[in-house]
Amino acid sequence: MDPFLFLESLTLAETEWARVLLLRDYNTRIVLCGTMILGVASGVVGALMLLRKRALVADVASHAALPGIGAAYLIMEAIRPDSGRWLPGLLLGATVSASCGLLFAQGMRHIRRIKEDAALAITLSLFFGMGVVLLTWIQSLPTGHAAGLNEFIFGKAAALLASDITGIAIAAVIAVSVVALLRKEFCLLCFDAEYAHAGGWPVTGLDLLLTALVIVITVVGMQSVGLLLVVALMVLPPTAARFWTDRFDPLVWFSGGFGGAAAALGVLLSALVPKFAAGAVIVLSGTFLFALSFLFGSQRGLWWRYRAMSAAQRQIAIDDLLRACYEILEPQLGSIEELTEKPLTQAALLETHRWSPKRLRPLLHRAELADLLRRDSQGNWRLTADGRRAAIQAVRYHRLCELYLIHYADVPLLGADRTADAFEHSLRPEILEQLEAMLEAQSPRFSVPANPHAATETVARTPRPEAVS
């Protein structure tokens, strides 16, 4: 290949990237502005629908809008030929149809044997089928091929005009303003509708208002991403935001931010690769942001959950090791202080828990690094002062759980040890504190209860301690 032609192609590619990223094209700026405004508004409204557990409502509204578009076109063509593509009339038809679809689904939900998800699915299928029939009929008309109604199905963001952005901006400002003004009411509705209803709040009115916001965003979004994909702008951003926060306000604004970011990324990628439809790339960008949140979200991301689970497993293994050390030395102890003086052999540890040498070696190394165990000159292991305290705590918690299982859960003595192994690490700190209080009479605080397996008869005769009220 000619090096000069190669360098020239690189220069042209750099110029194209710079042109797109610096927003030198007027059309790119228009589309970017319109879709970002729509993305933010969709994310904000979609967060409320997700928390209200009605994310499918947006899907139903988008599909139910299709027959309204077809009917509006036919009505306008019947009134005055060549006026069927008047955009305000088409959007009005879509709004009316979407509203009728949601009211139809709401009415079906009141029938006792039809559940909400079934009612939504029936409405979606029915109205979308009606819309496809109307569009097929329109295509058979002499002016049907020029109607361009398929653009409402798949979207055509690249064809947005400045006048379209004005309408999108007005709708977005209204939607976001309503959410901001009724923040407290929507928060109560999303988290405890029954309490809101008992407190006299207009739950039905708030639900209708939220549904109206969904319809507005759906109808406005059909011009850019299409009615089949607009639902993704109301589902993906709030779902992604859910992996980053558990609080209402941050969730709503995170969702709006993700919606705007998905729109911006999709438009820029579509501008760089003109063969890709902007609406579809926007949705794929939202899916990419969702995948990143799913993996690395600070609240529920898989990576952080894996790290937390790994840390918990390591801590459980260390606790088991320290408990084994204590139980080996326990018969030789005259006092707790002697724990740091008695040597431990690796063979004794292997025999106690039947660990394999491959499993035990990294545990001992980790405990040594944490200054819980140290190795003496003879190659034996000894507990450090920190290790002694940790071993006492681990044994105490384990035996508290054993005593609780024996006395209160009627677990057989021989099975209490193994059951406590799985039981003790799943208890929250406040539950352990309650166990401490319940068993205070048997074992003074900050000491270790006697091993129930070493004194079977004593434990069997011990009466149940009374719970502290």
Q: Which amino acid is at 7?
A: L
Mean pLDDT check: name the lowest of 18-22, 187-191, 362-366: 18-22
The proportion of the chain whose per-residue pLDDT surpasses 90, expressed as a percent, equals: 21
Half-sphere exposure in the Cβ direction for 152 (13 Å, CA): 26
Kindly tell me if the per-residue pLDDT of 60 is higher than 80: yes
Q: Delimit the domains of the chain by residue range.
A: 18-300, 318-385, 389-461
Report the chain's mean pLDDT, rounded to a whole number. Answer: 81
CB 267 within 8 Å of CB 239: no
Q: Return the pLDDT at 100.
A: 92
Give 177: exposed, middle or buried? Use CB within 10 Å, 0-12, 13-18, 19+.
Answer: exposed
pTM, full prediction: 0.78
Kindly tell me if the per-residue pLDDT of 329 is higher than 90: no
Of 293, 288, 179, 284, nearest in space to 241 by CA: 293
Q: In sequence order, what are the residues at sequence separation of 6 or more whose Cβ sits closer than 8 angstroms to the Cβ of residue 143? A: 77, 81, 82, 84
Instruction: Fold for 18-300, please state it.
Output: ABC transporter involved in vitamin B12 uptake, BtuC (1.10.3470)
**pLDDT per residue over 209-263, tens digit each?**
999 999 999 888 887 777 777 888 899 999 999 999 989 999 999 999 999 999 9
Name the architecture of domain 318-385. Orthogonal Bundle (1.10)
One fold for 18-300 and 318-385? no
Q: Once rounded to an integer, what is the mean pLDDT over residues 194-203?
A: 86
Name the architecture of domain 389-461. Orthogonal Bundle (1.10)
